[in-house]
Structures are given as structure tokens and as C-alpha cells.
Amino acid sequence: MPDHLITTLRSTIRGEVRFDAADLALYAADASNYRQVPIGVVLPRDADDVIAAVAVCRRHDVPLLARGGGTSQNGQCVNAAVVLDTSKYMDRVLAIDVNTRTARVEPGVVCDALLAATAAHGLTFAPDPATHSRCTIGGMIGNNSCGPHSVMAGKTVENVKTLEVLTYDGARFWVGATSETELTRIIAAGGQQGEIYAKLKALRDNYAELIRTRYPKLKRRVSGYNLDQLLPENGFNVARALVGTEGTCATVLQAELSLVRSPPCRVLLVIGFPDIYQAGDAVPELMRFGPIAVEGLDKEIVRGLERRGLRADEIALLPAGDAWMIVEFGGDTLTQASLQARAADSHFTDRAGCRTYLIENPALQARLWGLRETGASATALAIDGDTPDPVVGWEDAAVDPARLGDYLRQFQALVDRYGYRTSLYGHFADGCVHARINFNLRTSPGIDQWRRFLRDAAELVVQFGGSLSGEHGDGHAKAEFLPIMYGTELMQAMRDFKAIWDPRHKMNPGKVVDAYRVDQHLRHGPSYQPLQPATRLQFRSREGDGFTRQIERCIGMGKCRAHQGGTMCPSYRATRDERDSTRGRARLLSEMLQGQIITDRWADGAVRAALDTCLSCKACKSECPTHTDMASYKAEFLSHYYETHWRPRQAYSLGRIGRWAPWAARWPWLINAVTQTPGLSTAAKWIAGIAAERRITKFAPHPFHTRFERRPRTPENAAARTVLLWVDTFSNHFQPNVAHAAVNVLTAAGCRVTLPQRPLCCGRPLYDFGLLDHARTELGAILDALEPQIAAGMPIVGLEPGCLSVFKDELLKLFPDDTRAQRLAAQTFLFADYLEHIGYEPPTLAGTKVLLHGHCHQRAIFGMAAEIKLLERMQVDLQHLDAGCCGMAGAFGFDQRYYRLSQQVGEQELLPAIRNAPPDSIIVTNGFSCREQITQGTHRSALHLAELIDQTLQKKSAME
């Protein structure tokens, strides 16, 4: 059957049909505790493809799962079904009507894309979950998502006007609010829609009074089907009845959404409380001041971040306390929003134990929101080896906000009674509480205890008149306990509702009704026994050691799938393909270690192919809340893969450049004649595996080190500081002007500059091809050669971020117990960081337009703060480009296999920004590969910061 199913799908739709083991691995898990291997995956290009795919599934009688961004935390995005992923192609905002305040979208459009499109009109879509940068509208409709700003206009269900839906049986029609007259007409017209509406009317009439009396009167009731939307007083709204059904009833083809006015000016008030319970008690009085968001956060997340050394700048913004409320006010003007915030501030300032901090600066506000949105994920792995990881096994219950404080007290007492630990946070304005609890899901006794806790927790919520889910839906994690909330009769009504839409029970079966047990299909349950391999890189961390433990860092939240902001993940942004995301690659490695879907272990070609398109930008190491380090995982995997496979020729032409460049530099005229002459250069590129479209960089006539030896030496007693300048292969042989400029600036800053006594190479490109044994040899030679300087504490100052990052990152993984490596890492500075460290005052270049682009490794490992401070002190007109990765990424962009992807990455943001920059602006970036990509992609040149400062010094000297 699968072969016939695959053949039929591929001959029927224009989109992608994927049934390989790697594709199944990619979609086997979401952000929950669950794992189910799908039958296959379909990426439809349009609604016609969806219709055709559903028809094929119906013909073959196979289950179907329509999936959004795969960020669900209760397991509704995994199933043994054909997965429809609309996020790659069906991602358009089709129309925005400002007059009616509506938007029409395809299901795969990301929430942030809709928010960006509506912001130009002063409008917004109110629900915005923490995953707004990557969750899709279709997924939000499936989950009935909310978010902090649901305070403005409610959950997704209150913001859906109409839906175009497709049933498993092939019926396609629009649904929405239905008057009694229209309902009569639709039923009389017959057909599939008429038949469905007639059954829905009968169901409504049969259960109306029970729905009115048993459904909680609660803003954040997300659990169960929205049968209340069928009541006459709610307009028999079939669209809203389908919201929150988690793909168990019908597939959404289009959605018409309500928009609300977005307050243009916003102010945050952060209130510190002695504990989270008093914060919960304060919600009703706080709401009287008219906030548009009220978020609660307890000490466990903040203290967990502190123990890991994370988010220190954001934590510093929090006032004293052990719990906090982040309260947002909005208005037409900053004054209006501030008046509301100050009124609340005055009210709580006088309260015993409370401290407040009012923030009007948008940048600081964004940092606080980042702390709230990613803090829990950043602490998702326990740092105590004897303690289970905090997980989402009871995540998002909701109660009446007026009773929130008392509920939190009793819930914490329940947690304590079971011997668990939890963090408490959430959308307190609506009484929605998130909890990450250290359940032991890896042993049978642990699971038995977990089940008992879940039942007690469900009963506690119901005692408070609440909902088992206040945001993330029921899926696999809550559905078993819905009878506690609704009783047997209403559960039968929900079964009847599903049967009306899906009589064959093929739409995401086992979720919401007739559900799997909560302990079925656990991702890390008792049967989870992954490989614990020996590795060349040593993976050690506070959260545990070993390659397998590091792969577990990825919990599936999918920030790597964000389309804008930061750098992660450049290849995904170019292709919009799950296998090119950090999360997708982590899924493949996880499945490789388990050996059930991917059985070739280190020799698997599909895993290698996915890792090959990783640019090793290291953005995930810093931007992923869980610090998933894909660049290191890639290097480790490739080192094993190539034990049984031939390495590509690029591994020797590009990966070993540090070895052959010094030899080639002896005859630069000859090498340049070959690489720059038409015909010869084509042959040279083919031999080396370099893309034909690329221009091979010329060797400099003289390497830097030969000219440095001829420079007049600074007298020993003329300098207060001696530094060792680390001159990388690129600065030495291709762009020695950068190194010369650095020497000039460092000398002007009062430094005596020295070089290593013999040529050394950090081996940066070796990692891209898994040449870890060679890399270890290179680094061992460096430690031996620089041992006197390391022992003396001499600063090592470098120019190329990619090379210097080796000393901060890979060196410590290859020599984790060598004190020389630890000291070298501590003594290593990027050029700007060292100048900032010694308090250097640069010359001014007032008013000059400067565009600053950060090399990926600089942003990930060192940061851009020193660079920005120096340029600001130079008084330039600075524009710091938040333009992601340039796409060159060292050897990656020269490789003929990845040239096209390299260009796609660059064209996402950076290259257009450079082309659109004023002609008189100066482009500054410290990465050799960044400068090459800019030059070859825009025909504009870029400077290293050292060159900019040196040129300014020379102009100043000439004027004097």
C-alpha cells in the first residue's frame, strides 16, 4: 500500500511528496513529550494540492494530519498518518481589508508575517503565542492559540470570522456564523454541507442545556470542542466550532480573521512580588488599570538562568523579588500609555514587599519579552544529574483570574506532595498558568506517579471551575482526562461532533476524543535507549556530558524556524524546509542515535546531506534558547561518516587551505595567473570543487608576516602592553592590508605587537569537513608553540572571528582538561574587544555613514557590543544591520554544491541592504568571507574595523 500511495500522490500533486526514512524522522516529534512516526509527508503548493492529497488518502483509507509549525506542546502535531505541512508553500497573506478590519490568509502563513502585514495599517491579530515568530495561523486555529495580547481581543476562536474547510470525504465549503434562516436554507439545499449542518443542528438541540450549564464560564477555556459556538446565542458559528479541533475534524484551506487596532505606543511596568501567589492575588486589581498584557514569572526560571550564566542583562532589569509581573500598557501616544502605567505603578509601589520598574525604551521592552518567551526553554535541561528534566507534562491549565492566587497555592502544594519541582509562569491576566515540572518519564514507576499526579491536577483545576488547557490544546497530553472536566454526556457530544465531520475517524485520530492514553508514544519513555557513542569532541556542560545528552537540548520549540530577526537558521530561511532547520537536523541526529527509523547510524547519507547544508554559523549556539550547538554536532558526525566514505575534494582544496596556502604564497604570481585567467580559472575551480560563478580570491604579492618582519620595531620600553597578534591564513595571504592596519592601530593604542615565532593555523575550515584529528593536531601545535605567551598571560588579539572562535569553542572541546587551552581561551580577544578592554579612544569620523554587519561567529561567540561602542565613539552615523548570515560562511559559499544556497541566504537580507545603502556609506565587517560575499554579490567593497580606524588615523595625521 505505501508504494502505491506514494506513486499516486506523486502523480497527482505538484508539491513535494516525502516518504524516506529521514522525512519520517523529521516529523516524528513536535515540542511535546510524544513521538509517532508518520506514514509520509506532503508539502502542498496550494489548495488544489491539498484537495488532491486528501482524495488520495481517502482512496487508500489512511489517516491524515494537517500540521502547522510543529511547535505544539501537547502532542497534536504527531501521528501515524500522512502529514500535510502547509508552512513551506501555502504561506501567503491573501488580502487585508482595512475598512472591515479583516485579513484572509493561507493556513501556512506565520503569525509574525501576518502581524507585519497588518502593522502597516495600524492593525494586529490579537493572539500572539510565544512562538509567534514561527507558528502558523493554521496551527493557531487548530490549537485555539492565545498569547499575552489575547487580553485585547481574546483567543483565536474570538478572532476567526470564516473558514474554508475540506472534509476527509472531499466536501469543500466556507463556514462561519449562520443565522437561523441561513441554516434552514443550507439544510434544505442538501449535499454534504447540508447533511453536516443538519446533524450539527440536531447535536446542538440535543445538548444545548448541558453545554450551557457544564461548559466553564472562562476566557481561557481551550480544552474540548467549542460546541458552545453552535448555540443560537452564539450565532451557530460553525467556523468557531471548528477552531481548537486540532485537525481532528476538517482541514483549513483559507481563513478570514478579525483584526483589532494595535496601540502604537507601549510601556512596560515590571512589578516584583515576594512570591508568585501574591502576584496571582494582585491580578484583579491590576486589571482595573487597563493593561493589554499581564505576564507572570516566578523565581525558578530566573534563578535557573542565573545558575547557567544566561540572560544576565535582562535579569538585571527585574526589580527585587521572587516573582514578577510584566505588565504592558498601550496608547495612541507614549504619554497616554505612560499615564496608565504610572497609575498602576503608584498603586503597587506602596504595597509591602513590592518593587516596580517602569520601562518606556522599546529596546529594553523587547529584551524583557525575550526573557519571558524563552526563559522556560532555556532551563529545559536539568543541571543536577540526579534530577529529571523539567518537561511539559502538565503545561497550561487555566482558572478564573480572580481565584488565581489560591489556585497557585493549592497547585504548588500538590506538586510538593508528589515530591516534584516546578516553575510557574503564564498569562496571568486570563488565569493561564504554565508549569515545567521535573516528571520522571523514563521509568515505569515514574510514569505511574505522573499519571496519578495528572488526575489529581485535573481534579484540582475542575474544583476551581477551570480548564485543563488554557492555551496549548488537549492533543495527546490532556485528552485522556477530559471526562473529569466535561462528564460522560458531553464527551459523547464531542464524539458525535467529530463523527459528523469525520465518520471514518481518519483525521488526526487519537487526539481530543477517543484519545491515546497520556503515557502512550512517549518520546523519552522507558523504551528510549539511544546510542551513547564515543566522540572526538568532548561534549560537556552543566546539563550533562556526552553527544547524546547534547542532542537532547533540542526540545522542538522551533525558534530556528523564525523568518526574521537574528541569524538562526540561515539555511532554513532560504529553503523553508524542515530538514534545513536546526530543529530538523537535531531530530535526524536523535533518530540516528535511537536507530529505529535511521538505521545506518554514523554512515547515514540523509543525515550527512542535511548537515552539509548547515553553514556552521554557530547562531544556534547563542540564539537557540536551549543552546543547541549544531556546528559542533555537524563536525562530530562528519568525522565519523568519513571513516567509511571518501571525503569530497573540497575537503582538501578548501578544508586544508591552512596547509597549502603558505606553499602557494611562495609563487603568488603563478597561482594568480592560474586562478584569474579565463579558461585556466575554470579548470582550477573544477579541480578544487569551487563554484564556477565564484571569483577565486587573489593571493597578495607578499604575505603579511614577511612585511611585518621588515617593519621598524617598537622599542621594548615604549609600549605599556605586549600583545600577540593572531594573523589568520586569510589576513596573512589574501588581505594583509587588514593585518597591517591592525598593527598600526594597536601601536597607536600603546601596544607592542608580536607574532608567533613560526607559522600556525587554527584549522577553522577543517571542522566543516569533519577533519577533527587534523584539527586536534593543529591546535596541539598551537598550545605547544604559544606555551610561553599563554603562561605569561599575554593577550592574543585576532582579526578573523571565525578563526578566533576556535580558541573559544572547539579548542575547549578537543582539549577539555588542558589548562593551557583554558587559559588561551580566556586570553583571546577579537580586535575590537581588546581595544575596548584597554579603554582605547578611537579617532573621530563625525557624520560618516557606516553600515556594520556582524560576522556570524562574532555575534554568536563574542558579541557586537565592543564594535558598536568604538564606532559610536568615532561619532559615525551608524546603522547596525540585523541582516542575518551573509551566506558565504567560509568554505561553504565557494563550494560548487552549495553556491545557490549560499546566494539564497545572502539575498534574504544582507545583499539587498548593501545594494540599497547610500553610495557614500562605508561598509564594515570583520569576516573575510563576509567581505568576499559582499564584494562578489554587490560589487561594493567592505572594510575591516582595523582598516577604518587606521584610515582615519592616517587622515588625521595628514591634516596635522
DSSP for 429-444? GGTEEEEEE----SSH
Identify the pLDDT of residue 335: 94
- From CA 275, how far away is CA 424, in angstroms rounded? 11
Q: How far apart are CA 266 and CA 331, in angstroms?
A: 6
Question: Are 427 and 295 in contact, with CB atoms under 8 Å apart?
Answer: yes
Residue 820 neighbours by CB distance under 10 Å: 17
Joined together, the cell numbers standing for residue 295 give 505576564
Q: CA 126, CA 152: separation in Å to the nearest integer?
A: 6
Q: In the prediction, which pLDDT does 712 show? A: 55
- Listed in sequence order, the residues at least 6 apart from 549 whose beta carbon sits closer than 8 Å to its beta carbon are 381, 539, 541, 543
Query: What was the pLDDT predicted at 714?
Result: 57
Q: Which three cell numbers stand for residue 604?
A: 547515514
Residue 174 vs residues 250, 316, 497, 516: alpha-carbon distances, Å: 12, 51, 18, 31
DSSP state for residue 622 in the 8-state scheme? H
Determine the pLDDT at residue 312. 86
Task: Please report the pLDDT score of residue 160 as a whole number.
Answer: 98
pLDDT value at position 387? 86
- The confidence score (pLDDT) of residue 467 equals 97
Task: Report the pLDDT value the prediction gives residue 923, as an integer from 0 to 100.
Answer: 98
Is the C-alpha dihedral spanning 296, 299, 303, 306 positive or negative? positive
What pLDDT was estimated at residue 40? 97
Per-residue confidence (pLDDT) for residue 311, from 0 to 100: 85
Taken as a whole, the chain contains a residue count of: 960
**What's the pLDDT score for residue 63?**
98
pLDDT at 543: 87
Per run of 10 residues, the mean pLDDT along the chain (length 960 residues) is 89 96 96 96 98 97 96 95 98 97 98 96 94 96 94 95 98 97 96 97 97 94 97 97 98 98 95 95 95 93 85 89 95 94 91 90 90 79 82 93 97 97 93 94 97 98 96 95 97 98 97 96 95 96 92 94 93 97 97 96 96 96 93 98 96 93 92 93 94 95 85 56 95 96 96 93 96 97 97 97 97 97 98 97 95 96 96 96 93 95 96 95 97 96 98 87
| Residue among 356, 311, 361 nearest 337 (CA) | 361
Residue in 396, 315, 389, 397 with CA at minimum distance from that of residue 357: 315
Within 8 A by CB and 6+ apart from 208, the residues are 231
Distance CA 108, CA 92 (A): 7
Identify the CA nearest to 261 among candidates 451, 402, 121, 461. Answer: 121
**Residues 45, 53 contacting (CB under 8 angstroms):** no
CA separation, residue 361 to residues 191, 317, 383, 624 (Å): 58, 12, 34, 25
